[in-house]
Amino acid sequence: MRLTAIYIFITSIFTAFSTVFASAPINLQRLDAPQVSQQVIDRVLSLGQLGTASLMLALGIIIYALIAGVLGITRRNAQLQTSARYAAVATFLALSTAMMCMEAALLTDDFTVQYVAQHSSVPAPLWVKVVMLWGALEGSILLWAWILSLYTAILAMNTPNHALRPWALNIMQFVQLFFVLVLAFVANPFTLNASGLFVGPGPNSLLQNHWMMAIHPILMYLGFVGLTVPFAFAMAALITKRPGSEWMRLTRRWTLMGWGFLTAAIIAGGWWSYEVLGWGGFWAWDPVENVSFMPWLTATAFIHGIQVQERRRMLKSWNMMLIVLTFTLSILGTFLTRSGVLSSIHAFGDGPVGIFFLIFFLLVLFASLGLVVMRWDQVRDHSELDAVVSRESSYLLGNVLFLAMTFMILLGTLFPLIVELFSGEKVTVGAPFFNQMSVPIFLAIFLLMGIGPLLPWRKAEHQSVIRNLLWMCGVGIIAAAIAYVLGIRRVYPLITIAISGYNIASLGLLISAAVVPRARLSKRNSLQVFRQYAFENRRRFGSMIVHLGVIVTALGIMGASAYRIDEQVKVDFGTSTQFRSYELRAIDMFEEQVPGRGTVGANVEVWQNNRKIDTLRPRINVFVHDGVTQQQPVPTADVLYRVQHDVYLTLSGSLSRDQAFVILRVVQSPLVMWIWIGGFIMAFGTLYCVIPSASERKQERLAMQGSPTNSGNTIS
């Protein structure tokens, strides 16, 4: 009780301090722009100061939580530990206040806050103002910190009382400490607008141009933060010398959810790039894309690695290193893209933030790898692979391939830096490098993805392996033969199609191996048995759904990259031109003026076999920030989404009123839609794994009540 009182005392001191600090008068005389409403000027309590105060409050609580957390453990004081847990909730509340301050400032166009003055604008639509919170550097770190505090609070309140919990919470708090320190002292989004002028360029037009930008960063941070949870528990397991499988079991859902969000974020990013960047592509091996892809690769390896550990007590140190890599790569990525060391289309530009992320990255990397080394005796594997052909060896090989891929991308991303350091020449590593390297690795991974789940643990019977492989290869060859007859002649697409057929056969074999014997035993019809199997073995069946999504995405990527057609055509208004099987009729041009945005575009009808399919309206948007033309005009594509291929139109060059023609860039990407559909299937499959089945729920209820069940071995 006494400790709770101390805690309340400290928080109230912070609150009092922040209130005094926040209500200090501010000089608004120089804000002479008419756009600032009287309401903002009359504000006694500046949102900027209130925001900074809540950041300081959060900082104080985090420091308290860390001290209480560590003391609670060393002194075995349960009250201190409880207090630290409640402090996690308090941190969340303080950061929520900061978020609300920022949203309020954005929505009321409070240009006394520099972030708002720089990145928002009065005429911007409501949704742009709302999402501008994470549209630029400082705000996006605030969002990251807030999600982190949300997860920490949920963990603090929801994790069963377990020996790992106190340390895991301390690690989460430590990560939070870093983010809030950066927010408070390096990249404070609530810095007051000292000059009082509208200094900034307003919202980035590329972000303003598509709603996808509203969700992509959130998904990304939900993913990164989700994967921080297993990292925290892994470190807790090392510190407390309990490096068994408990930490993985406790965080299984967090891991899967983090992975699912990251997957969705990457796919959403590709879709945004497709719709917004005007070149009709979805992935350019741009540094920003690469740094989000690397943690995804290591996380994917991790998800497979922990299954080997749960089943075979192997790969302990390997899994530790994978989760350390996953977490640190997400920090490294932030350093690379936010520090200006790498130029990229969507890098956030230079800033002082980068170096702190680099320091944090090195600190975490060395500390956690050091911890692994210190506990080497405990995490070392004692058992060896029983056979080369077994589930675990296929997972291990897959893991190695995922790591090779990560290394290759890291090398390609950093190589320009290395070259510039040694020769002073400025180079970029082109997409061909990444394609040449990643396509074979991915095809090899897909081969393993098909056979791996069919192999039993420990040692496979050669006969059944060969029978399965015959089936799979047979289906694969038939698929490739059909594709060949349909006119596909290029090698990689044929291989991709063959491997997809092989994988579909593998999924069929997996399901039939599960369903047929059960149906025979119970004498029920196999559809019923299948339904029961799918509902009860959520984890296994969910993984099949995810693998199906992977195949669908792979086919989409294959079609859209190998058979992409990209042409420029000139069409006079009132006439038409032929593009492949389509007829493009340029009808007329249109203009639109809304507050904050001017648009010119062309109405283009798409006809096929004398039937009108759609009218596309490719256009050029010019976003206006406070009466001045802002940034570059953004050519905005309009896309005809079709199952077999998209027709993607952008205006090439400028379009003016006296122009009698329009120049169109037409991109036809076969199967591109299936990339997004595959991504959706992957996200759904992940969700399917995460939602517990009825029997799992029952077990968890028992576990929460503290009865000693050995849940880990039965949930599978």
Partner 1 sequence: MKKLIYSVAAVAILAAAGFMIYQALNTSLVYFILPNEYANDPNNYKNKRLRLGGLVEDGSVDFNTNDLKLYFKISDSIKSYPVTHTGAPPDLFKENTGVVVEGRFQDGVFVSDNLLIKHTEVYEAPEDGKINVEALKESLE
The footprint of partner 1 (CB under 8 A) covers 343, 404, 408, 411-412, 415, 419, 425-433, 436-437, 568-570, 620, 632-633, 635, 652-654, 661, 663, 665
Rounded-to-integer distance, Cα 506 and Cα 500, Å: 10
Cβ at position 433, least distance to partner 1 in Å: 4
Cβ at position 468, least distance to partner 1 in Å: 26
Closest to 248 (Cα-Cα) out of 165, 307, 161, 299 = 307
> By C-beta, is 653 or 712 nearer to partner 1?
653
> By C-beta, is 522 or 632 nearer to partner 1?
632
> By C-beta, is 633 or 678 nearer to partner 1?
633
Cβ at position 392, least distance to partner 1 in Å: 16
Place of tokens 């069929």: 508
With 0-12 / 13-18 / 19 or more C-beta atoms within 10 angstroms meaning exposed / middle / buried, residue 329 is buried
Cβ at position 314, least distance to partner 1 in Å: 16
With 0-12 / 13-18 / 19 or more C-beta atoms within 10 angstroms meaning exposed / middle / buried, residue 246 is middle
Each as own residue / partner, the long-range contacts of residues 576-581 (CB below 8 Å, 24 or more positions apart, any chain) are 576/607, 579/647, 579/666, 579/668, 580/668, 581/608
* Distance from chain centroid for Cα 68: 33
> By C-beta, is 572 or 588 nearer to partner 1?
572
> By C-beta, is 431 or 703 nearer to partner 1?
431
> By C-beta, is 332 or 405 nearer to partner 1?
405
Render 99-113 in DSSP notation, one character per residue: HHHHHHHHHTT-TTB
Instruction: Say whether 599 sits in a helix, a strand or coil.
Output: strand
Place of tokens 């070392």: 380
Rounded-to-integer distance, Cα 580 and Cα 429, Å: 33
The letter for the amino acid at 446 is F
> By C-beta, is 429 or 640 nearer to partner 1?
429
> By C-beta, is 472 or 664 nearer to partner 1?
664
Place of tokens 């920030």: 625
Cβ at position 337, least distance to partner 1 in Å: 16
Rounded-to-integer distance, Cα 377 and Cα 379, Å: 6
- 72 has which bridge partners? none
Cβ at position 136, least distance to partner 1 in Å: 19
Q: Do residues 598 and 180 make contact, with C-beta atoms less than 8 angstroms apart?
A: no
Rounded-to-integer distance, Cα 687 and Cα 247, Å: 21
Cβ at position 676, least distance to partner 1 in Å: 25
Cβ at position 697, least distance to partner 1 in Å: 45
> By C-beta, is 243 or 633 nearer to partner 1?
633
Instruction: Say whether 702 sits in a helix, a strand or coil.
Output: helix
The letter for the amino acid at 694 is A
Which tokens hold the place of 371? 């911890």
645-651 and 638-640 strand pairing: antiparallel
Cβ at position 407, least distance to partner 1 in Å: 9
Rg from Cα positions in the chain: 28
Rounded-to-integer distance, Cα 61 and Cα 84, Å: 9
> By C-beta, is 89 or 431 nearer to partner 1?
431
Cβ at position 282, least distance to partner 1 in Å: 17
> By C-beta, is 512 or 631 nearer to partner 1?
631
Rounded-to-integer distance, Cα 296 and Cα 318, Å: 17
Name, in order, each residue with C-beta under 8 angstroms of 478's C-beta and a sequence gap of 6 or more.
501
Cβ at position 427, least distance to partner 1 in Å: 5
Q: Do residues 637 and 649 make contact, with C-beta atoms less than 8 angstroms apart?
A: yes
> By C-beta, is 548 or 620 nearer to partner 1?
620
> By C-beta, is 629 or 716 nearer to partner 1?
629
- Residue 537: C-alpha distances to residues 102, 350, 418, 689 (Å): 44, 49, 49, 9
> By C-beta, is 202 or 635 nearer to partner 1?
635
> By C-beta, is 202 or 223 nearer to partner 1?
202
Which tokens hold the place of 321? 């290193």
Place of tokens 């959403």: 268
Rounded-to-integer distance, Cα 92 and Cα 147, Å: 9
Cβ at position 156, least distance to partner 1 in Å: 44
> By C-beta, is 33 or 389 nearer to partner 1?
389
Rounded-to-integer distance, Cα 598 and Cα 575, Å: 26
Cβ at position 158, least distance to partner 1 in Å: 44
Cβ at position 75, least distance to partner 1 in Å: 48
Cβ at position 317, least distance to partner 1 in Å: 18
Number of C-beta neighbours around residue 33 at 10 A: 14
> By C-beta, is 615 or 632 nearer to partner 1?
632
Alpha helices in 486-597 (DSSP H): 491-522, 526-536, 538-562
Q: Do residues 425 and 419 make contact, with C-beta atoms less than 8 angstroms apart?
A: yes
Q: Do residues 142 and 221 make contact, with C-beta atoms less than 8 angstroms apart?
A: no
Instruction: Say whether 593 sits in a helix, a strand or coil.
Output: strand
Cβ at position 619, least distance to partner 1 in Å: 12
Q: Which helix (H) or strand (E) holds 467?
A: helix 462-485
> By C-beta, is 549 or 633 nearer to partner 1?
633
With 0-12 / 13-18 / 19 or more C-beta atoms within 10 angstroms meaning exposed / middle / buried, residue 152 is buried
Closest to 188 (Cα-Cα) out of 3, 318, 51, 324 = 51
Cβ at position 251, least distance to partner 1 in Å: 32
Cβ at position 595, least distance to partner 1 in Å: 22
